[in-house]
Amino acid sequence: MIEDRRQNTEGVPKKSEIFWGRDDRIRYSMNTPRIIAVSSGKGGVGKTNFVANLALFYASLNKRVIILDADLGLSNIDVLLGIAPKYNLKHVLLGEKKIREIIVTGPLGIMILPASSGIRDLTKLTDKQRLKLVSELDSFDIPFDIFLIDTGAGISDNVLFFCSASQETIVVVTPEPTSIADAYALIKVLSRDFQERHFRILINTARSEKEAFDTFRKLAIVADKFLHLSLDYLGYLPFDQRVKDAIIAQKGFIAMYPNSNFTKKLVGIGKKILDSPLNEVKGNIQFFLRKALRVG
């Protein structure tokens, strides 16, 4: 049973109130369902905030959006969207609930598969737990257009598992040297150990377009030199002090500030993702959600 938390969406505009373009909903109505992992090498780079706002944008296009909070020990997506789920993935892994029973409905009808918080045992899934989760996801039969996986940060087994299971991976990076170095480490491990070859890079909190592209260029140069990878520049989100205000208010930034430069950039990134073709289906563990893909 889907738990409806719509009472927590006060202040979120209705779909018809977010007008991104006259033909957008028609233009993007026939896309193949997509499974997108959003990750980062370093924590605190705005990854979850990006996922939440991207989901809101897609939902405003009448897309059926599901977010899987895959940061299993430190969940944040429910907090960011002002939702208090009763059940989460912990109950699925313990065999107490089926995965469709833990879904909660957020702003604009976004469906959320919440993770647990403060459960240390879930920060490193055992083989048995991973098999259980894959089995549950494999039987998932709720239609969707966009399935966003908000992974944890770093190169833990959980992060690598979800990134390698998705159709495409977006790595969020900030201009800080530590963020660039940690993003490279994540890409290196996924490339070396999981044969991942396609990575889309989003630069967050950049002060200018030049700073954003310079950041991407630094990462792209080392990826090309040492990993023989050509990274895809997805774009950048500008630094905006009001992002913190939206997080504190537990509301989507694009709903609070629809005419901001941040929102315009995010909308452009969201459209770019939908406009780009999917890469070849991966050969390792990307068989989960296959039933839902057929249903969708």
CA angle 58, 61, 64 (to 5 degrees): 60
**pLDDT tens digits along 112-157:** 999 876 555 556 778 888 778 878 887 888 889 999 999 999 999 8
Q: What is the mean pLDDT of residues 81-98?
A: 89
Banded model confidence at residue 16, pLDDT cuts 50, 70, 90 = very low
Compute the distance between CA of residue 179 and CA of residue 43 in angstroms, rounded to an integer: 8
Residue 5 has pLDDT above 60, yes or no: no
For the question of whether the overall pTM of this predicted structure is more than 0.95, the answer is no
Compute the distance between CA of residue 135 and CA of residue 106 in angstroms, rounded to an integer: 25
Buried b (16+ CB within 10 A) or exposed e, 43-62: eebbbbbbbbbbbbbbbbbb
Q: Which SS3 state, helix, strand or coil, does residue 205 take? A: strand
Query: How many angstroms separate the first and last alpha carbons of the chain?
Result: 19
pLDDT of residue 7: 37
Domain 29-295, CATH class in plain words: alpha beta
pLDDT of residue 27: 65
Q: What is the mean pLDDT of residues 38-66?
A: 96
Q: What is the mean pLDDT of residues 195-213?
A: 97
